[in-house]
Amino acid sequence: MARVPEGVNRHELTVVARRVLLDALEALKEQLNAVVLVGAQAVHLHTGHVLLASSAYTSDADLTLNPADVLGEPLLDERMKAAGFELNDPFQPGIWTRTEMIGGQPHRVGVDLLVPEGLAPVAGGRSAQIPPHSKMATRRVLGLEAAVFDRSVMPVASLEPEVDGRQFKIQVAGPPALLIAKAFKIRDRLRSGVKSPGRLTDKDAADVVRLMMAARNIRPVFDRLAMQSQIRNMVLEGCELLHDQFGSARGDGVQMAVRALTGDLPEERIRLLAPAFVRENGP
């Protein structure tokens, strides 16, 4: 996720990120059959009942697109631009941002249009390349494949209902798909050497623990996903990553979660909870 700007209230940032997400969903309304909400916004929807001192927060939104369901029209990039979005970097596909006022200061808030690497129609490169859409419209990402198979319709509403009554019913990735996606993301962070004790760096691991606290009886879902030939290898790799990161009390993911959740959960509980969850739910 994007870093939280210095001096910005996390709750206010999350409210604005939800508003920007709803604007993107409105812009892409004809394409919603292809859209699955993933990332921290999806984690927030599944874990809102988990009582911790600090609530889940995010500064952006991640939308997975199933290329098989993307319509030829309207064009994705044209709709995003019409809603005020622009590419954060003209040379990096799929990362769309818009300037919003937060705490009286302008900040960039993002909506990423992501295509699972294993389902992308063209191999290689960062762009997912879904003709006739612009090659810059969407980005290929490994680890999101399960979201296309593990999803359910949920209401996504404004977090400021007194001024914005919008609500969309869209497909949201389930906890197993989100856990797999987070495991790949954590691996990428570890590979790049991002192992500093900063809470921002470690937030993905905190989201994993939140999902572990909220999810119930999900082993059958992992088993079902592992039986899907199209994504089997990715699912098994993701489950192996979860085992490596969270299957022991001193795993890298557990260490990250302990740092991120300082003041929210006792360290001992995290070190017991995560390995127990992996043992009980891993395929």
- The string of pLDDT tens digits covering residues 209-242 is 999 999 988 999 999 999 999 999 999 999 999 9
Report the pLDDT value the prediction gives residue 131, as an integer from 0 to 100. 93
Min mean pLDDT across 14-23, 49-58, 102-111, 258-267 is at 49-58
User: pLDDT digit string (tens) for 150-165?
Assistant: 999 999 999 999 999 9
- The structure tokens listed for 73 are 């029209």
The pLDDT of residue 6 is 67
> DSSP H helical segments within the chain, as ranges?
10-27, 39-47, 76-82, 175-191, 199-214, 219-226, 232-246, 252-260, 267-281
**55: confidence class by pLDDT, cuts 50, 70, 90:** low
Q: Predicted confidence band at 56 (pLDDT cuts at 50, 70, 90)? A: low
Residue extents of the structural domains in the chain: 10-173, 175-281
Whether 257 shows a pLDDT value over 60: the answer reads yes
Across residues 181-198, what is the average pLDDT?
79
Q: Which residue has the tokens 């920007």?
A: 20
Question: What is the reported pLDDT for 67?
Answer: 96
CB 193 within 8 A of CB 148: no
Interval 242-270 mean pLDDT: 95
226: tokens are: 């592992």
pLDDT band at 1 (very low <50, low <70, confident <90, very high): very low
Question: CA–CA separation, 150 vs 193, rounded Å?
Answer: 31
> What letter represents residue 97's amino acid?
T
Residue 80: the pLDDT is 98
Has residue 124 got a pLDDT over 80? no
Single pTM value for the model? 0.93
Q: Which residue has the tokens 């929807």?
A: 45
Find the range with the poorest average confidence among 9-13, 175-179, 194-198: 194-198
Q: What is the mean pLDDT of residues 243-247?
A: 97
pLDDT of residue 22 exceeding 50, the answer is: yes
Which of 90-103 are b and which e, b meaning 16 or more Cβ less than 10 Å from the residue's Cβ? eeebbbbbbebebe
pLDDT, one tens digit per residue, over 134-155 is 999 999 999 999 999 999 999 9
- Mean pLDDT over residues 234-256, rounded? 97
- Residue 201 binned pLDDT confidence (cut-offs 50, 70, 90): confident
Task: Report which of 126, 131, 125, 51 is spatially closest to residue 94, judged by C-alpha positions.
Answer: 126
Residue 10, pLDDT score: 84
- Which pLDDT score is estimated for 278? 96
pLDDT of 18 > 80? The answer is yes
Digit-coded pLDDT (tens) for 67-93: 999 999 999 999 999 999 999 999 999
Burial (CB count <10 Å: 0-12, 13-18, 19+), residue 130:
buried
173 pLDDT band, cuts 50/70/90, is very high
Task: Centre a 10 Å sphere on the Cβ of residue 271 and count the other Cβ atoms it contains.
Answer: 18
Mean pLDDT over the full length of the chain: 92
Query: Which residue type occupies 161?
Result: P
